[in-house]
Chain A
Amino acid sequence: MATNSTVTTPRRAGRVPRALRSRIFGWLVFAGALLAWQRYASTHPSPRYATVTDVAAKWWSEIIGGPLPAAILQTLRTMLIGYAVAAVLAVVVGVLMARVRFVYVLVEPPLELLRPMPISAVIPLLILYLGIDDAMKISVVALAAFFHILLNAYSGAGSTPRTMMDTARTFGLTWRQTMTEVVIPAAAPGIFVGLRSALAASLVISVVVGMIAGNDGLGHLLMIQQQSFLVTDLIVGAVTIAMLGYVLNFAFLFVERRILHWHFGATRHQD
């Protein structure tokens, strides 16, 4: 299984040559595209293009002495705090919605009305109330991540197998023990699906909110560079964000495999 992806490898071995079935093939095509870009950009000098080597050199210099590390840290900080707040709130609210009728009837209608609202539409309003600093940015990220996790926690906690609930009852578990020892672990695979899509959404929103608020972070940096027509710097920024996403996803899968090893084992077992 691929280490950094949950996309399953197609197993059917048709009449495709061996070289085309290896993952190395994809990397070769990618390297070829980089080469073509490099050739095109160096044979067509223009301020609109930057060569691959220029981008790499610029990236390195920005990392060791430029504004990039501070911007990355600022964006990551906003993102991770917002994400963590959302994760805790969404799991608690989702589980309560699934298991306590009163909570469900209380929060379901407003949540259902708020859910389809694009988060970008709320940012101006939140700026008005909270300003352009951390409080606003963290709230925006948390709001964006919240629904991804909530829906999965709700459906996961609502579908504990009946026999498992009967087991909890006959073993005399209190309501609280039933939640922590049975319902939440059983919902964990679903919760992790939500946590993962929320992670991607949080990164996007933490960059975008920096662009709109315009005071710090990667988004702000990109806007300044765009206004100054710094093409190389803009590519550096985009590549940096992509790398950030890759690393975050990798770390997420690492943690997920440790916590949900039983789930992956059980589902693999059914194949």
Chain B
Amino acid sequence: MTYRGRRREVTALRDLSLRIGAGEFVAVVGRSGCGKSTLLRLLSGLLPASAGEIRVAGEPIDGPPRQARCVFQDYAQSLLPWKTVAGNVRFGLRHAYAAPAGDHDALVAHYLDLVGLGHAADRYPWELSGGMQQRAAIARALAAGPRLLLMDEAFSGVDALSRATLQDVILRAWAEAGVTVVFVTHDIDEAVYLADRVVVLHPEGHGVLADVRTDLPRPREQVTTRELPDFLRHRRDLLNLVLD
């Protein structure tokens, strides 16, 4: 994958081949500049690949795939500030991949409850904390009934405790919706805690450095999961890989 920078051609990613199964929760980690965000922009169809092919559900993509929705790091500029939280979720329902069955009001309430924002339906995004805004963005993405959820450093902008809440929200949503999640993060602990499979990108974007199945038991729990010997082993191995 090569794209044109302002002054020269920048090859952000090359020799990368990855296959992600339906329903998987995959975390992509790597150092800054390894191309993990580029990979996600490619998958979301926002950036055309200069070479190679990306297939979603067997079909080569040309623009954003219909069955994918994104949760961006910059929630404040992703939510529509002129709509309430419920209004933003309704936007997701209106622009859905698989039009969900049922009454829209009930669906809005359902997705808000799923992310723990039932009480904030009529508030505006700017009235909420960063963590709550990102939960609203997750509810909006899920309301569109996606088969693929792409998350780019989605929890990097919030404080540590809100981050733990967001992690549990996305795990609950993933379990309920049966959606495939590709989660880009620079936080190894977060990757091991959330995913079943952690993909480490080569620091200069030369393909995949490691592709590790973690398969920790579910449901995960913030304290006990992080104390499991397997959690600590994967964490150590992955940190060594990334820091090398």
Residues of A at the B interface (CB closer than 8 Å) are 161-164, 166-167, 169-173, 177, 181-182, 185-186, 188, 262-263, 265-266, 269-270
A159 CA / B151 CA spacing, docked (Å): 24
Which of A170, A186, A262, A265 contacts B64 (CB under 8 A)?
A: A170
Pair A262/B46 contact, Cβ less than 8 Å: no
Which of A164, A181, A188 contacts B78 (CB under 8 A)?
A: A164
Which of A161, A162, A171 has the most chain B CB atoms inside 10 A of its CB? A171
| In the assembled complex, B124 has its CB within 8 A of some CB on chain A | yes
Stretch in B68-76, B106-114, B199-207 touching the partner = B68-76
Which of A163, A169, A170, A177 contacts B74 (CB under 8 A)?
A: A163
| Also in contact, A164 and B68, with CB within 8 A (given A171-B144, A266-B126) | no
Pair B124/A262 contact, Cβ less than 8 Å: yes
| In the assembled complex, B104 has its CB within 8 A of some CB on chain A | no
Pair B97/A172 contact, Cβ less than 8 Å: yes
Pair B70/A161 contact, Cβ less than 8 Å: no
A265 CA / B44 CA spacing, docked (Å): 32
A263 CA / B44 CA spacing, docked (Å): 30
Pair B81/A266 contact, Cβ less than 8 Å: yes
Chain A residues with Cβ below 8 Å from B68 are 170
| Also in contact, A161 and B77, with CB within 8 A (given A171-B144, A172-B97, A181-B91) | yes
Chain A residues with Cβ below 8 Å from B91 are 171, 181
Pair B127/A265 contact, Cβ less than 8 Å: yes
A33 CA / B74 CA spacing, docked (Å): 55
Pair A182/B80 contact, Cβ less than 8 Å: yes
Chain A interface mostly: helix
Which of B66, B78, B124 contacts A167 (CB under 8 A)?
A: B78
Chain B residues with Cβ below 8 Å from A186 are 82
Pair A171/B69 contact, Cβ less than 8 Å: yes
Pair A164/B44 contact, Cβ less than 8 Å: no
A185 CA / B180 CA spacing, docked (Å): 32
A170 CA / B91 CA spacing, docked (Å): 12
A266 CA / B68 CA spacing, docked (Å): 30
Chain B residues with Cβ below 8 Å from A171 are 69, 91-92, 95, 144
Closest Cβ of chain B to A66, distance in Å, is 46
Interface string of B80-120 (1 = CB under 8 A from A): 11110000000110010100000000000000000000000
- A-B contacts, 29 of them at CB < 8 A, read A163-B77, A163-B78, A164-B78, A164-B80, A166-B78, A167-B70, A167-B78, A169-B63, A169-B64, A170-B44, A170-B45, A170-B68, A171-B91, A171-B144, A172-B64, A172-B95, A172-B97, A181-B80, A185-B80, A186-B82, A262-B81, A262-B82, A262-B124, A262-B126, A263-B81, A265-B124, A265-B126, A266-B81, A269-B127
The chain A residue with its CB closest to the CB of B83 is A262
Chain B interface mostly: loop
Chain B residues with Cβ below 8 Å from A162 are 77
A167 CA / B92 CA spacing, docked (Å): 10
A269 CA / B144 CA spacing, docked (Å): 30
| Also in contact, A166 and B126, with CB within 8 A (given A172-B95, A173-B95) | no
| Also in contact, A169 and B46, with CB within 8 A (given A163-B74, A164-B77) | yes
Pair A167/B64 contact, Cβ less than 8 Å: no
A177 CA / B94 CA spacing, docked (Å): 11
A265 CA / B69 CA spacing, docked (Å): 29
Interface string of B34-50 (1 = CB under 8 A from A): 00000000001110000
Which of B46, B77, B82, B124 contacts A170 (CB under 8 A)?
A: B46
Closest Cβ of chain B to A183, distance in Å, is 11
A161 CA / B74 CA spacing, docked (Å): 10
Closest Cβ of chain A to B147, distance in Å, is 13
Closest Cβ of chain A to B77, distance in Å, is 4
Chain B residues with Cβ below 8 Å from A169 are 45-46, 63-64
The chain A residue with its CB closest to the CB of B67 is A172
Closest 5 CB pairs of A and B: A161-B77, A266-B126, A163-B77, A171-B95, A262-B82
Chain A residues with Cβ below 8 Å from B126 are 262, 265-266, 269-270
Given pairs A164-B80, A167-B70, 5 additional interface contacts (CB within 8 A): A166-B44, A166-B70, A170-B64, A188-B82, A262-B81
Chain B residues with Cβ below 8 Å from A263 are 81-82
Closest Cβ of chain A to B54, distance in Å, is 14
Closest Cβ of chain A to B40, distance in Å, is 11
Chain B residues with Cβ below 8 Å from A177 are 95
Chain A residues with Cβ below 8 Å from B124 are 262, 265-266
Chain B residues with Cβ below 8 Å from A172 are 64, 66, 95, 97
A262 CA / B88 CA spacing, docked (Å): 13
